[in-house]
């Protein structure tokens, strides 16, 4: 594109494997595992609604155009998902205001709320990216000047005051609780632990490829999990009850992390990739069969889509 909206000429590699101590890695991994379990135990019915391919692609393109660290994109996706799910939960649990009909409001009050969200949805998405840029220590911050120019380039005229109000709305909606890990965090920590336990593994190459595989997995999320559901249930047309129970699988970041690393190890043609699966199973407690099933489904999707990952 002709114009770049960036804050610096580039970014440095922020990961240095083998620096963190084992005790620190163990504490971080334990914390991630607990957070993942807590999340899976408290899933909303509408969880995953805002992980649509086009939406995720939009966020990735925003971060790429702004030359932000990839972590910003994954963080923004989590912020958006959590904020919108809370909005929907509030919508479904809050009754329409008294006298709505008398005030001339539509009988279906929910439609009015949806319309309101739809009008400012682009701004909400961008605000999630802007907030995420402020959370990632190794990324440039998208200030309001850059934000105004970028949105204008997208065909949206937004004032700095509106930007701040949008950010504040999201922060309040999440009770200012932004300390939630994203899929890339799980991949990075698992790679750190794997590198500590299996020092012969080419971690730098594996990490680079994991970035491509994870991006593919997020963009092809629907197809991947639909195939995995069929494999798991051994049913071509799973029932709604089976789909409801499968929700915990689609939102399991630890499973996604081990699956991404395994696929990357296979593509890299690591001779002992079976040992990588065994070690990941030992680290996470996820069965080797589950890891293999998930990895197999992802590899099938990569092959069928003719993804350039195979030639990376």
Delimit the domains of the chain by residue range. Answer: 50-173, 183-311
The separation between CA 294 and the C-alpha centre of its own chain, rounded to angstroms, equals: 17
Q: In 3D, which of 152, 129, 146, 153 has the Cα closest to residue 1?
A: 153
Rg (CA), the chain: 21
Query: Which residues, other chains included, contact 180 with Cβ-Cβ below 8 Å and sequence gap of 6+?
Result: 35, 39, 78, 82
Using the predicted structure, report yes or no on whether residue 25 has a pLDDT greater than 70.
yes
Mean pLDDT, rounded, for 166-191: 94
DSSP E strands: which ranges in the chain? none
Using the predicted structure, report yes or no on whether residue 105 has a pLDDT greater than 80.
no
Q: pLDDT confidence of 8, banded at 50, 70, 90?
A: very low
Q: pLDDT confidence of 271, banded at 50, 70, 90?
A: confident
CB 181 within 8 A of CB 35: yes
Confidence (pLDDT) at 87: 87
Confidence (pLDDT) at 129: 97
Confidence (pLDDT) at 306: 73
Q: Cα separation of 140 and 142, whole Å?
A: 7
Q: Cα separation of 174 and 169, whole Å?
A: 9
Q: What is the domain class of 50-173 according to CATH?
A: mainly alpha
DSSP 308: G
Tokens at 57, concatenated: 């692609």
Q: Cα separation of 100 and 88, whole Å?
A: 19
- Look at the block and give the residue holding tokens 């802007």: 130
Confidence (pLDDT) at 294: 97
- Look at the block and give the residue holding tokens 């991404």: 260
Query: Which residues, other chains included, contact 19 with Cβ-Cβ below 8 Å and sequence gap of 6+?
Result: none
Specify the higher pLDDT residue, 59 or 49. Answer: 59
Using the predicted structure, report yes or no on whether residue 11 has a pLDDT greater than 50.
no
User: How many Cα atoms sit within 13 Å of 46 on the Cβ side?
Assistant: 14
Query: Which residues, other chains included, contact 89 with Cβ-Cβ below 8 Å and sequence gap of 6+?
Result: 44, 46
Tell me the C-alpha to C-alpha distance, in Å, between residue 304 and each of 32, 101, 255, 307: 33, 52, 22, 8
Q: pLDDT confidence of 21, banded at 50, 70, 90?
A: confident
Using the predicted structure, report yes or no on whether residue 172 has a pLDDT greater than 80.
yes
Mean pLDDT, rounded, for 240-265: 96
Residue 127, number of CB atoms within 10 A of its CB: 28
Q: Worst-scoring range by mean pLDDT, 53-57, 292-296, 305-309?
A: 305-309
- Look at the block and give the residue holding tokens 């605000």: 127
Tokens at 204, concatenated: 């730098």
Estimate the crossing angle of helix 144-153 against helix 121-135, to 10 degrees: 140
Q: Is 58 helix (H, G, I), strand (E, B) or coil?
A: helix
Tokens at 233, concatenated: 């249930």
């Amino acid at each position: 594109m002709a114009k770049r909206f960036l804050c610096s000429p580039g970014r440095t590699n922020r990961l240095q494997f083998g620096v963190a101590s084992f005790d620190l890695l163990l504490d971080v991994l334990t914390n991630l595992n607990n957070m993942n379990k807590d999340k899976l135990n408290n899933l909303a019915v509408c969880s995953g609604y805002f992980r649509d391919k086009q939406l995720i692609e939009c966020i990735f393109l925003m971060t790429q155009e702004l030359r932000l660290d990839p972590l910003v994109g994954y963080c923004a996706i989590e912020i958006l998902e959590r904020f919108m799910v809370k909005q929907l939960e509030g919508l479904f649990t809050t009754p329409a205001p008294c006298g709505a009909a008398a005030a001339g409001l539509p009988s279906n009050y929910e439609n009015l709320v949806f319309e309101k969200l739809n009008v400012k949805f682009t701004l909400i998405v961008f605000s999630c990216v802007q907030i995420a840029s402020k959370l990632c220590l190794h990324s440039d911050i998208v200030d309001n000047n850059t934000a105004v120019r970028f949105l204008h380039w997208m065909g949206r005229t937004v004032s700095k005051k509106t930007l701040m109000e949008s950010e504040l709305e999201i922060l309040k909606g999440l009770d200012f609780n932004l300390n939630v890990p994203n899929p890339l965090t799980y991949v990075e920590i698992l790679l750190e632990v794997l590198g500590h336990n299996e020092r012969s593994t080419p971690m730098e190459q594996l990490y680079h490829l994991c970035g491509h595989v994870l991006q593919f997995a997020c963009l092809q999320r629907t197809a991947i999990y639909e195939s995995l559901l069929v494999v798991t249930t051994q049913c071509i047309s799973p029932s709604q009850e089976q789909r409801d129970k499968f929700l915990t699988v689609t939102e399991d970041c630890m499973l996604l992390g081990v699956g991404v690393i395994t696929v990357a190890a296979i593509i890299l043609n690591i001779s002992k990739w079976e040992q990588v699966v065994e070690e990941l199973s030992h680290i996470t407690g996820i069965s080797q069969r589950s890891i293999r099933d998930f990895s197999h489904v992802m590899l099938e999707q990569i092959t069928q889509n003719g993804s350039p990952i195979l030639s990376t």
